[in-house]
Copies of this chain bind each other. A is one copy, B any other.
Amino acid sequence: MSEKEKVILVTNDDGMFAPGLHALVKAMKGLGRIYIVSPDSPQSGKGHGITLRDPIRFNRVYTFDGVEAYECSGTPVDCVKWATKVLLKDQVIDLCVSGINHGANASINIIYSGTMSAAMEAAMEGIHSVGFSLLDFSFEADFSAAEAVARQISEYMLTLEERPLRPLLLNVNIPAVPQEQLKGIKVCRQANARWVEDFQEGVDPRGMKYYWMAGELINLDEGSDTDIYALDHGYVSVVPCQFDLTDYNALDKLKKSMDVQ
C-alpha cells in the first residue's frame, strides 16, 4: 500500500546561499518531495512585499543535491506566488516551510519578516505553513537544534488535514542554545513589543548625507504567555497566526460613531 508522497515547498528570505536554508532542506529530507524556490539575494525586512513594476526571473539551480531548486530575483512572497501558481500549479502542496531565518522573528517582527511573509502567503493559498527562525544572526550559527525542531514540527504539520479550509500557520522561534538545553516547545501569543529605531547619520564619499536604520526591540508585554517570554525562558516559541487584520474589538464602537447609511 503506497501513500502519496508529500510535497514540501521550502523558501526563505536570507537568500539561496544562506546556511539556514540548507539546514532547513536537510531537516526536510525523507519527509516528502522537496522543492526549493528562494531569493537570489538577501531579502530580510522585505515584509509582504511583491514585485509589480518589474519582471521577475526564476532560474533552475543545481547546488542542492538531488533537490529541484530555483532562484528568484524577487521577494520571498514572489517565490511562493510563483511556486504555487506556476511551478507546482497542478500539485497539492502539503507543507510550506520558510527559513531557517538567521535572527529572531518573534512578536511584531512577523510584520517585517520576509521569512514569515512567505509562510503567510502560502497559508493564504490554503497550505499549512511554518516560518522557522533561530535567535542568532551569524552566518556561522549552529543550526543543529533548530534543524531538530524544524523536523519535529514539520512531521506534526504533515499529519494535518490535506487541503484544509483553514490552514495552520506557525511562527516558530528557536533559542540559540545547544539542543539539550532547549526546555521544550511553548505555544504562545505574539508579544506586544515594538522597535525603537536609531537612525545613524553618515556622509557618503561624495559628501551626501544618509541615514542607516538600526534599532532595538522593546518588549512592552508583561504576560507570561507570549513568544518573547517563552524564548527568554529557554523554550521554542510557537505562535499560530492569521491574516484577518480587522480589529473586531473596535468595530461596534466605531460603527456607532461613524456609520452613515
Residues of A within 8 A of B (CB): 42, 44-53, 55-58, 75, 77-78, 81-82, 85-86, 108, 110-112, 117, 120, 124-125, 153, 156, 168-169, 171, 183-187, 189-190, 192, 194, 196-199, 202, 204, 208-213, 235, 238-251, 254-255, 257-261
CB distance B56 to A112 under 8 Å? no
Q: Is the CB of A257 within 8 A of B49?
A: no
Contact of B169 with A247 in the complex, beta carbons under 8 Å: yes
Output the least CB separation between A83 and chain B (Å). 11
Is the beta-carbon distance between B187 and A254 smaller than 8 angstroms? yes
Q: How far is the CA of A57 from the CA of B208 in the complex (A)?
A: 9
CB-contact partner of A47 in B77, B153, B184, B238, under 8 A: B77
User: Which of chain B's residues have a CB closer than 8 A to the CB of A248?
Assistant: 189
Q: Which residue of B lies closest to A89 (CB)?
A: B199
- A interface, by DSSP: helix, strand, loop or mixed? mixed
The answer to whether B246 touches A190, judged by C-beta atoms less than 8 angstroms apart, is yes
Distance, CA A241 to CA B111, complexed state (A): 14
Question: What 18 new A-B contacts, CB under 8 Å, besides A47-B117, A239-B245?
Answer: A44-B53, A47-B50, A47-B77, A48-B48, A48-B112, A49-B112, A55-B202, A78-B213, A81-B199, A82-B211, A85-B197, A111-B245, A186-B261, A189-B251, A192-B244, A238-B254, A240-B250, A245-B245
Tell me the complex Cα distance, A189–B252, Å.
11
Q: Would A211 and B58 be within 8 Å (CB), given that A250-B240, A259-B185, A261-B186 are in contact? A: yes
Which 5 interchain pairs have the tightest Cβ spacing?
A: A47-B48, A55-B210, A240-B250, A242-B247, A184-B260
Identify 20 residue pairs between A and B in the complex whose beta-carbon atoms are under 8 Å apart, listed by A's number: A42-B53, A44-B52, A44-B53, A45-B49, A45-B50, A49-B75, A51-B213, A55-B211, A56-B211, A77-B112, A85-B196, A110-B245, A125-B194, A168-B250, A186-B259, A187-B255, A189-B244, A189-B248, A192-B244, A241-B245
